[in-house]
Amino acid sequence: MILNEEEKKVILDSIRDVNDFPKPGIVFKDITTLLNNKEAFQVLMNHLESRYKSYNLDYIAGIDSRGFIFGAALADRLGIGFVPVRKKGKLPGTTICEKYELEYGFDEVEIHIDAFNNQIGARVLLMDDLIATGGTAVAASRLVVDTNANLIEVCFLLNLEFLNGVKRVEEIAPVYSLLNI
């Protein structure tokens, strides 16, 4: 199930570019203007639902924090559970964590060790709004795999193609990005 050109345009036009945020030189892709646009949000969710309804998924995992919004909405549409992959220090239960490199320094993401109810081979889709270098998604993918779940696919709304992040994630699981820019 591929997004048609008209649907692509509705979604892309709803995402706002904010220059020099959070620092000079970065063009931040602001998805709040997609979320408050009922037509664009519905086109997006209808597409995701039609793509993933045949995947026989058990859970959606979403990456902190915008992956939570799309991931939880899709989990509800598919009638399955949702699991947050959070930045370090936010999850209250026993966690496993994965460090990854940023432009300057390191960051860490965590998942509850029993996030998928200890179901070995649980079929999981991992979601985030955007892939840039791929560092965050690689770390989150490793966490899903380390819980003994079956990472079926990693899904992004936006792929900043010139940074080649998708290649890194594809070493772990298949990747689907709706909009390659």
The verdict on whether omega for the bond into residue 65 sits within 30 degrees of 0, i.e. cis, is yes
Q: Spot the catalytic one: 51, 66, 86, 110.
A: 66
Among 15, 44, 63, 75, binds ligand AMP (CB under 6 A): 63
DSSP code of 64?
Answer: T
Is 66 part of the annotated catalytic residue set? yes
Catalytic choice (5, 6, 103, 171): 103
Q: Which residues pair with 158 in a beta bridge?
A: 130, 179
- Is 150 a binding residue for ligand AMP by CB under 6 A? The answer is no
* Residue among 58, 98, 110, 129 that touches ligand AMP (CB under 6 A): 129
Q: Which long-range contacts (CB under 8 A, 24 or more apart) does 14-19 make?
A: 14/40, 14/41, 15/157, 15/158
The correct pick among 10, 34, 130, 155 for binding ligand AMP (CB under 6 A) is 130
Residue 86 binds ligand AMP, judged by CB under 6 A? no
Quick check: is 103 catalytic? yes
Cα torsion 141, 119, 61, 38: sign:
positive
| Interface with ligand AMP (CB under 6 A) | 26-29, 63, 66, 128-137, 165
Catalytic residues: 66, 103
